[in-house]
């Protein structure tokens, strides 16, 4: 079997540009969630989000690239940082053996909103605005491939909030099947008015703070940005002298088949995905040193996840962290941000605290890392995501 390794990571997050800024923010235990400034929130009752600060992408993009849709900017900046971290020049690779798997749920929806608003103000622009309604969400993956000269498979998975996790699992599959030597995998999003309003209508958002696994949790806040990892075949990485430290060891998928937006209350679908990933990796639950949880801070999702993790790791789960209290729910990018977190935890032997979790739910039997970072001898980690329509995905990463 061809083994797949993570050889580089990149991120553009509400904490700023770069993995270093993302990691510092997580370790600080603070939150980058604040009132939305990027567009008029009007009469929305809840208008908090984790927004990427101005200038965060500038070190990696040209002036022309900074005129691209924001989601493309996030993806390209994170991909370039990941390639730099991997010390990988794609010009020296067989372009037909390089792939892109870039998840998104929103695509350039914010761009469409801009033109629709302009069309309302000026009827002469309405034709152009309606053409943009057909802008494919997969265009971000295509734009990334064109910018980097990628000639291998280009895929854009979209299974709601599990998309970023699925993207990295799919990258591993492309490597294992021999369809690629290098895959740029991850997720990217840009906030837009329609989706913020939609989550408000679902009554899924908080007016105060995101509190994963906290007794006072009352909803999520959205976020934006991109996280990208370089997934590389072992033989290709060894041939160029890359450091092989983190193996992408297993992946799993499942479906609840219960409800369009609500998770299965017993967490059975999430359990199946996590067990599938562990089986794929050849790892027993007892081998897992740390879990990066989905942790939305909503009442039902967190309760489901508490049940699911307790079932997988009976009698006691390893330490757990959730990052959405720090950067918000980045939808299709959420799982890829978790993968970057997991890679750093494996490298540094430290787990960040769960921002917003102060008063642990009395029903929670999990060891949620809170308050300050925790130093741990981390060798194997599990990352789990659950999404609308009952989609569940999980990854196992291992230090070698």
Catalytic machinery residues: 161, 294, 329
How many Å apart are CA 121 and CA 377, to the nearest integer? 59
DSSP 400: -
Length reported for the chain: 400
Closest CA to 319 of 360, 265, 266: 360
How many Å apart are CA 105 and CA 378, to the nearest integer? 32
Taken in order 292, 294, 295, 300, the sign of the CA dihedral is negative
How many Å apart are CA 69 and CA 191, to the nearest integer? 11
Q: How many helices (H) and strands (E) does the chain have?
A: 12, 16
131 burial type by CB count under 10 A (0-12 exposed, 13-18 middle, 19+ buried)? exposed
State the Cα torsion 252-349-328-217 to the nearest 10°: 90
């Amino acid at each position: 079997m061809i083994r797949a390794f993570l050889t580089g990571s990149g991120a553009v997050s509400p904490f700023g540009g770069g993995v270093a800024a993302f990691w510092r923010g997580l370790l600080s235990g603070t939150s980058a969630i604040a009132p939305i400034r990027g567009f008029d929130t009007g009469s929305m009752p809840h208008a908090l989000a984790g927004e990427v600060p101005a200038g965060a992408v500038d070190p990696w993009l040209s002036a022309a690239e900074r005129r691209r849709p924001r989601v493309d900017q996030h993806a390209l900046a994170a991909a370039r940082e990941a390639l730099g971290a991997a010390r990988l020049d794609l010009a020296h690779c067989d372009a037909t053996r390089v792939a892109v798997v870039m998840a998104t749920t929103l695509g350039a929806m914010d761009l469409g909103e801009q033109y629709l608003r302009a069309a309302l103000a000026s009827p002469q622009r309405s034709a152009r605005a309606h053409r943009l309604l057909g802008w494919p969400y997969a265009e971000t993956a295509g734009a990334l491939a064109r910018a980097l000269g990628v000639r291998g498979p280009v895929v854009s998975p979209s299974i709601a909030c599990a998309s970023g996790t699925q993207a990295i699992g799919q990258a591993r599959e492309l490597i294992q099947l021999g369809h690629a030597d290098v895959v740029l995998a991850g997720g990217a999003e840009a906030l837009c008015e329609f989706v913020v309003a939609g989550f408000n209508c679902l009554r899924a958002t908080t007016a105060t703070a995101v509190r994963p696994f906290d007794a006072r949790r009352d909803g999520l806040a959205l976020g934006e940005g991109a996280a990208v990892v370089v997934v590389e075949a072992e033989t290709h990485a060894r041939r160029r002298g890359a450091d092989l430290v983190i193996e992408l060891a297993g992946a799993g998928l499942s479906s609840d088949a219960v409800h369009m937006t609500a998770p299965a209350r017993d967490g059975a679908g999430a359990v199946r995905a996590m067990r599938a990933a562990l089986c794929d990796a050849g790892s027993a639950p007892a081998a897992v040193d740390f879990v990066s949880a989905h942790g939305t801070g909503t009442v039902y999702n967190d309760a489901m996840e508490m049940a699911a993790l307790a079932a997988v790791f009976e009698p006691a789960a390893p330490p757990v962290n959730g990052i959405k209290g720090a950067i918000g729910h980045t939808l299709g990018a959420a799982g890829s941000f978790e993968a970057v977190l997991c890679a750093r935890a494996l490298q540094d032997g430290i787990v960040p605290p769960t921002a917003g979790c102060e008063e642990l739910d009395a029903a929670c039997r999990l060891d949620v890392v809170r308050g300050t970072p925790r130093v741990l001898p981390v060798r194997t980690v599990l990352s789990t995501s659950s999404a609308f329509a009952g989609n569940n995905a999980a990854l196992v990463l291992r230090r070698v």
